[in-house]
Chains A and B, each alone.
Chain A
Amino acid sequence: MWRARILDDDQTMTADTAVRRSSAPPPRQPGKRPLFRRRSAIPGFGLTMGVTLTVLSLIVLIPLSAVVLKAAHQSPADFWAVATSQRSMAAYRLTFGAAFVAAVINGVFGVLTAWALVRYDFPGKTMVNALVDLPFALPTAVAGIALATLYAPTGWVGQFLTPLGIKAAYNPVGVTIALIFIGLPFVVRTIEPVLRDAAEDVEEAAASLGANRIDTILRIVLPALAPAWLTGFAMAFARGVGEYGSVIFIAGNMPYKSEIAPLLIIIQLEQFEYARAATIAVVMLAVSFTMLLVINAIQAWARRFD
């Protein structure tokens, strides 16, 4: 308790000195103040920063603003009517719901996969390690037609699910299956480096103090992994929300039932309803930005423990 107060005092001290220092700035040569950046001996800042900002603006920022402007072109009432129409709401529910369930399943199996890859040696480990990145390397349309064929009622997997009364393909279950495929590497690859860097001596200490293995894992290992796990979860979720290629083949694409939000954008576009397409896109962008902020917040929170 008092330790914290001393730390606080310390900080006030430095803040005070900082204020004092800034109130009496050292004389600087005019035109050399590091207003924007610290001076560096390495040349090329102007060129590389110029190229970076120009390309970023032309390719990403200005085009993205176009969708917001297009959506803002209509009255707020129209925007709201399209953004919250029954069909749109059904699409959001499916998209976010399936992405959430898929991220949870990936959260479980992703931790196990990362754990096996970091802590164990087993035959075929190099291949398993390479295979985890398959969803990054395989075109989504290929994954889509493969999954649709596998989980169709007569497919390799589907034929075993049908007698159980599970309809996988052309159903929300199929959407979730596709998003599990797409999201898996995000969870594994976010947890893996953290698990590799995690100090085993802490676990040893816990064990030598009498904790059993389950206790050690539940109380030492998993809490240390929590920020990485949440980051991976959020990344898999964000990717799943926007995913199109792997989903549309297996989804069935029935309005109100198995129609994902990105598909709704395409349908509006095909009917030349550009403002409506932009409206749904803005809703999805808002969710993406929120996820980005959440991920950044989790990582800032995780850095506090470093």
Chain B
Amino acid sequence: MAAVSHRRAVDDPTWAKVLIVGVVMAFLALVLILPLAAVFVEALRKGLGPALDAVNNPDALAAVKLTLITAAIAVPFNAVFGLCAAWAIAKYEFRGKALLITLIDLPFSVSPVVAGLIYVLIFGLQGWFGEYLVDNDIKVIFAVPGIVLATVFVTFPFVARELIPLMQEQGTSEEEAAVSMGASGLYTFWRVTAPNVRWGLMYGVLLCNARAMGEFGAVSVVSGHIRGLTNTMPLHVEILYNEYDFVGAFAVAALLCLLAVVTLVLKTALEVGAPGMRGRGGH
């Protein structure tokens, strides 16, 4: 081994590396770490007791429960939809495929506020079904069904857009082999396709869940902000903050931060551990 340092032509000089990494670290610390740290510091400003009280309070617990219920409906729904859509798009050739993918991606480009508005226009008092719903005493807007619908809308593409490229990459030969040997469609799906896409599915579900639990704009429009009834955790944070109960707001926010941190840890674990998942960016 020669002691001469042999720099490859594509290596940047050390000073440039240090400078770029330093700038990046400083930027990320300012933009990402500082807000995260601020949440925990503000939550614990008056000590652990008041923070725990703010979380262990009937309204806060009702918000936690509603958030969990909403995610428990929206995430499996979008997972099943994503699997169907990815199967239809990846395993067959048909016209209009690009358009279909664009339409599935559409909710990503729609403002969350507009996502809430569209359901108010359909199910609200002046909406398409407004009179029918009032006559039959069914509440969608300012009630749980509206919150679930709005959440389904904003998280609609997450699983599908993770699975479509993955299934397209894997092609159809394995499924064709299974079918030609007499396997049924469902059997082929469970025994051939599902094992191939399970990490991608988990990845999509993880991101879908984070967004479902954290959605604010769309849910805010349809919820009506009734404490203990139609308040999700992010909405509860807003109410407490606007009432100048900063410790309470940041304590509930800290819970949501923990959700985000767990999501990021699991996501990193999937990227490092699961085959074929390296270097995937998500939404």
Contacts and interface: CB of A to CB of B under 8 A. Distances in A.
A239 B216 CA distance: 14
B201 interface: no
Nearest to A211: B9
A40 B282 contact: no
A107 B106 CA distance: 23
A150 B35 contact: yes
B210 A137 contact: yes
Nearest to A43: B185
B176 interface: yes
Given A43-B179, A189-B282, A262-B217, A132 B28 contact: yes
A284 B111 contact: yes
A91 interface: no
A55 B38 contact: no
B73 interface: no
Contacts of A266: 113, 220-221
B237 A274 contact: no
B185 A138 contact: no
A174 interface: no
A41 B246 CA distance: 60
B111 A243 contact: yes
B21 A120 contact: yes
A230 interface: no
Interface string A114-143: 011001101000101111111111111111
Q: Please classify how large the interface on chain A is, using the bins under 10, 10 to 19, 20 to 34, 35 or more.
A: 35 or more
B161 interface: no
Contacts of B126: 272, 274
A135 to B, nearest CB: 7
B257 interface: yes
A297 B118 CA distance: 28
16 contacts: A49-B94, A55-B84, A56-B103, A60-B106, A60-B107, A109-B24, A116-B21, A139-B215, A141-B253, A150-B35, A181-B31, A245-B216, A262-B111, A265-B114, A274-B121, A288-B110
Interface of A: 36-38, 40-45, 47-49, 51-52, 55-56, 59-64, 66-67, 70, 109, 112-113, 115-116, 119-120, 122, 126, 128-147, 149-150, 156-157, 180-181, 184-185, 188-190, 192-193, 196, 200, 203-204, 207-208, 213, 238-239, 241-245, 249, 261-263, 265-266, 269, 272, 274, 277-278, 281, 284-285, 288-289, 291-292, 296
